[in-house]
Chain A
Amino acid sequence: MTFAQAQHGFLSPTGVEIAFLLVGLVTLGAALITVTTRQLVHAALWLVVALGGLAVEYLLLTAEFIAWVQVLIYVGSVVVLLLFGLMLTKAPIGHSPDADSGNRWAALTVAVAAAVALVWVVTDAFRTTWLDLDGPAAGTTAVTGASLFRHWVLPFEALSVLLLAALVGAIVLSRKARADEAAAPAAPAKEGVR
């Protein structure tokens, strides 16, 4: 990132800035539909649009690696897992009558508060930082890797330990469930013999 205070105004946007804004609007719209639609599977599909829009934003900021990882993890795996879960619940075609939440006003308050806090912090922190889009890409795989393993090693390792704990926890939970299952069918089998 370069620090160039001069000649950056908001009144004469470049093509990339306009594209960034438009994609951002599409992403925001898709995200809004995701949380307001009454059709469960449509919500998951709109989530694909929102997450994909985010990936395009990363691309526009020249962070190619982050963009593809975003697609790979969120669109390729998380949404597939979501759809898998929805199919198991026999999500109906058309409106789901119970796809509504009683605490929507509380959710709206939290969402707006979080958005305001984030926007405020980010604009305050990066007000004078400008990304030089014409120079060498600031988000190539090499740059990302170097900064991740040079400056951010400790958070990275902490996150890995967290994920490992989650993995182990999932395995423990599923094993316990299986043990209960194995114990349960034993009783009806005896009844069947009788």
Chain B
Amino acid sequence: MNGALDVALRLLVVFVVFLTFPLIVGQTEHKVMAHMQGRLGPMYAGGFHGWAQLIADGVKFAQKEDVVPAGADRRVFQLAPAVALLPYLLVLLAIPIGPSEGAVGQVLDAGVFFVLAVMGVGVLGSLMAGWASANKFSLLGGLRTAAQLLAYELPMLLAAASVAMAAGTVSLPGILHSFHWWWVPWQIVGAVVFFVAGLAELQRPPFDMPVADSEIIFGAYTEYTGLRFALFLLAEYAGIVVLCGLTTVLFLGGWHGPWGADGLGWVWTLLKAAVLAFLVIWLRVTYPRLREDQLQKLSWTLLVPLSLAQIALTGIVKVVIS
């Protein structure tokens, strides 16, 4: 195939995934939450079980007036949603869903580092929004976001480093190519640490202190309306897709499964990621919000030591079997 056409096609596919998967997760969240709470959830939009609810929401957001507060720092305020959203699009490029060369947007030599580095950049969007809004609730939200990121970045990195050690490579397809089933019990502690730290980085409940609506309205996003607010929401759900995809690739063996090794590997990837996304929603409905001090304590006194222990275990096993 023509080189340029190939690149264009890959970018197009990743872009379509980026636009649709977060909406699917969002709609699932509406329905799953509703049924867990003994409700029906959206039922009218689109006819069949309210499938078009999020499209209707999008149309509503697009119609709203785009307000920038008078005291705000205009340019930073307007730039923030893009800074929050774009990194997840870039990360999606690097996540492999199947074993073949064509099943990943772009093979990167240092994929794990790329993914974690770019995800960290997304938080800058929340910080910019929090400061530029000229609103004390926004500022508090921004502060909490920064504190949370600083606390949870370290265990996430250490957990990912453990897998990289086990595989002997930092390329995402490379890690999957050297995966064996017994890696799952071996790396399970790292997997839990990675997933929990990722949830905290996305500010999903029970780690939603930065947007705690009952005390600081909506944190850094308080002043946003219309499309810019929708972009922040989209960033949150794209973040869920990315986190679930990454956990699947790093810890759950991605395309590996009991059957369907040839050609159907991508089904396994999507299935595992979907189960994880369900777990994310389930956690939101189940647990109350953690307090700020509990958040910090969980990271520094539990997740960091656990991830260090996982690295030690990985090193020992690696030395023993080689």
* Interface set of A (CB-CB < 8 Å, partner B): 41-42, 45, 48, 64-65, 68-69, 71-72, 75-77, 79-81, 83-84, 86-88, 90-91, 93-94, 137, 140-141
A68 with B120, Cβ < 8 A, contacts A45-B128, A84-B147, A91-B131 known: no
Interface residues of B in 159-177 (CB under 8 A from A): 169-171
Residues of B within 8 A of A75 (CB): 117, 120-121, 124
Is B134 a contact partner of A64 (Cβ separation < 8 A)?
A: no
Task: Pick the contact of B116: A72, A86, A91 (CB < 8 A).
Answer: A72
Is A71 a contact partner of B170 (Cβ separation < 8 A)?
A: no
- Cβ-closest chain B residue relative to A140: B109
**Stretch with Cβ within 8 A of A (4 or more), from B13-21, B138-146, B186-194, B312-320:** B138-146
How far, in angstroms, from A68 to B71 measured CA to CA in the complex? 36
Main secondary structure of the interface of A (DSSP, over half): helix
Instruction: Number of B interface residues at 8 Å Cβ cutoff, please give it.
Output: 34
Residues of A within 8 A of B128 (CB): 45
Is A41 a contact partner of B131 (Cβ separation < 8 A)?
A: yes
B40 at the interface (CB under 8 A from A): no
B198 at the interface (CB under 8 A from A): no
23 residue pairs of the A-B complex, CB under 8 angstroms, read: A41-B73, A41-B131, A45-B76, A48-B124, A64-B110, A68-B113, A72-B116, A72-B120, A72-B157, A76-B153, A77-B120, A77-B153, A80-B123, A80-B124, A80-B149, A84-B127, A87-B127, A88-B143, A93-B73, A93-B131, A93-B132, A137-B109, A140-B110
Distance (whole angstroms) from the CB of A65 to the closest CB of chain B? 5
Interface residues of B in 114-136 (CB under 8 A from A): 114, 116-118, 120-121, 123-124, 127-128, 130-132, 134
* Interface set of B (CB-CB < 8 Å, partner A): 71-73, 76, 108-110, 113-114, 116-118, 120-121, 123-124, 127-128, 130-132, 134, 139, 142-143, 146-147, 149-150, 153, 157, 169-171
Interface centre among A71, A90, A141 (most CB of B within 10 A): A141
- Cβ-closest chain B residue relative to A85: B146
- Cβ-closest chain B residue relative to A65: B110
Distance (whole angstroms) from the CB of B292 to the closest CB of chain A? 14
Distance (whole angstroms) from the CB of A169 to the closest CB of chain B? 18
- Cβ-closest chain B residue relative to A74: B117
How far, in angstroms, from A94 to B72 measured CA to CA in the complex? 9
How far, in angstroms, from A43 to B265 measured CA to CA in the complex? 47
Is B127 a contact partner of A83 (Cβ separation < 8 A)?
A: yes
Task: Pick the contact of B120: A76, A93, A137, A140 (CB < 8 A).
Answer: A76
- Cβ-closest chain A residue relative to B108: A64
- Cβ-closest chain A residue relative to B164: A141
Residues of A within 8 A of B142 (CB): 83, 87
How far, in angstroms, from A90 to B131 measured CA to CA in the complex? 9
Is B150 a contact partner of A68 (Cβ separation < 8 A)?
A: no
Residues of B within 8 A of A41 (CB): 73, 76, 131-132
A141 with B124, Cβ < 8 A, contacts A68-B113, A84-B146 known: no
How far, in angstroms, from A48 to B131 measured CA to CA in the complex? 16
Residues of A within 8 A of B127 (CB): 80, 83-84, 87
- Cβ-closest chain A residue relative to B72: A93
Is B113 a contact partner of A69 (Cβ separation < 8 A)?
A: yes
Distance (whole angstroms) from the CB of A79 to the closest CB of chain B? 7
Is A87 a contact partner of B130 (Cβ separation < 8 A)?
A: yes
Is B131 a contact partner of A76 (Cβ separation < 8 A)?
A: no
Is B71 a contact partner of A93 (Cβ separation < 8 A)?
A: yes
Residues of B within 8 A of A94 (CB): 73
How far, in angstroms, from A8 to B109 measured CA to CA in the complex? 29
Task: Pick the contact of B124: A42, A79, A88, A93 (CB < 8 A).
Answer: A79
Distance (whole angstroms) from the CB of B315 to the closest CB of chain A? 15
How far, in angstroms, from A90 to B134 measured CA to CA in the complex? 10
Distance (whole angstroms) from the CB of A14 to the closest CB of chain B? 19
Is B124 a contact partner of A71 (Cβ separation < 8 A)?
A: no
